[in-house]
Copies of this chain bind each other. A is one copy, B any other.
Amino acid sequence: MPHLADRQREILRAVIRDFIATAQPVASGALVRRYRLPLSPATVRSELATLEELGLLTHPHTSAGRVPTDLGYRYFIESLMPRTTLQPDEQLTVSHQFQQAQRDTAEWLRLAASTLARLTAEAAIVTPPAGITTILKHVEAVPIHERRALLVAVLEGGAVRQQLLDLDQPTTPDELRTLSQRLSDTLRGSDAATAATCARSERGLAAQIASGVARMLQEAEAARGHDVYYDGIQNILAQPEFGEGGRVREMVALLEDRTRLAELLPPAIFGDDVHVAIGAENRFEPLQDCSLVFGRYGGATGFVGYVGIVGPRRMDYARSIGAVRFVGRLMSDLVRVVEGN
C-alpha cells in the first residue's frame, strides 16, 4: 500500500466519492468545483497523474476523467473511509423486525437477505448456520394412517426436517408414540453417522425409524450446499454499469444457481470482522466487475453461517460494511438464543 501525502489522500477520497455517486469518470475541474479545493485544476491534474502512476486510478481514454482502480478502492477502504454504522432509527426498525421473526429458521434467513438488500440497495446472500443443521435434538413420528408416518426431526438450532415413512407393519398411534419417544432419547445428539450405527443395533420398526432419521440427517448435511437465500436482484439491474450487455445475465445465473452460490461467500474469512473482495479479488469470473462485502455470523459453539452482499465495485462501502456488520451481529444474537444461552 503506497504512502500518500495528505493532499493526495484528500483528492483520492474526493475522486472515489464522486465516482461512487455519479458512475462517471471524474474530471479535475469538477473536483475543484464540487469539493471547493483551494487549488487550480492544473494542480489537481498533476496530483491525479501521480495517483495514476501509483496504480490507484486509471483513465478510460486520453481525454476522460479518472476512475478508481481496485487498488484505489482498497486504499480507500483501508485508510480513507470513515467507520460508519447504520442510523439509530434504522437499527431499531431492523432489530425489531428480527425479533418478530425468531420463530422460523427459513423465515429469518429470508428476512436477513431481504433486509440487507433493502438497506444496501445491492443483492444480498445469506447461508444458514452450518453445523446447527446436522445434529439431532428431538425426533417425533406422527401417524398419518396405520402404515404411514411423518417423521419430524428437530435439529440443534431449531431447524426442522421431515420425511414420509412407509411402515413395514401396521402400527397404532400409541405404539408409534412410545417408540418415537424412546428413539428420541436414544438418538439425541447424534449426527448422521451415529444415527446410522444406532439403526443397525435396533430391529423392526425401531430400526426403520432410526435409519429414517439417519437419512434425514445425512440429507441435511448434503442440503447445506443448496440452501442459500438471496434477494435484491432488481438492485443489480438498476446499476447503470450493468444496464445492458450479457454480463448481468451471467451474474443472475450465478446467483440463482444455489450450488455455486454457496461457494461464493465462505472462503478467506479469517477474522471475525467483515471482509471485502474488490473486483478481481474474487475468484468468480462473472463477478470480476463486482465487489463482495461479507462476514460470518454464529454462536459461541461454532455454528457459523455467512451473510453478505454483491454489488458493483462502485459501491458505498462504508454503508455496506456497516449494514453487513449489523445484520451479522443480529443473526449471531439469534443463533445464540436458539442455542439456549
By a beta-carbon cutoff of 8 Å, the part of chain A in contact with chain B is: 102-107, 137-138, 140, 142, 144-145, 148, 150, 152, 154, 158, 160-164, 177, 181, 216, 219, 223, 231-234, 237-238, 243-244, 248-249, 252-253, 256, 337-338, 340
Contact = CB atoms under 8 A, between A and B. Distances in A.
A148 to B, nearest CB: 7
17 contacts: A102-B164, A103-B163, A107-B223, A137-B142, A138-B140, A142-B154, A150-B154, A150-B158, A150-B338, A152-B152, A160-B162, A164-B338, A232-B256, A234-B249, A234-B253, A237-B252, A243-B244
A150 B140 CA distance: 13
Contact of A256 (B163, B234, B338): B234
Contacts of A232: 256
A160 B164 CA distance: 13
Nearest to A244: B244
Contacts of A162: 103-105, 154, 158, 160
Contacts of A223: 107
Contacts of A160: 152, 160, 162
Contacts of A148: 340
Contacts of A152: 138, 140, 152, 154, 160
Contacts of A181: 177
Given A103-B216, A104-B161, 4 more contacts: A105-B162, A138-B142, A152-B152, A234-B249
A336 B220 CA distance: 25
A135 B258 CA distance: 32
Contacts of A145: 340
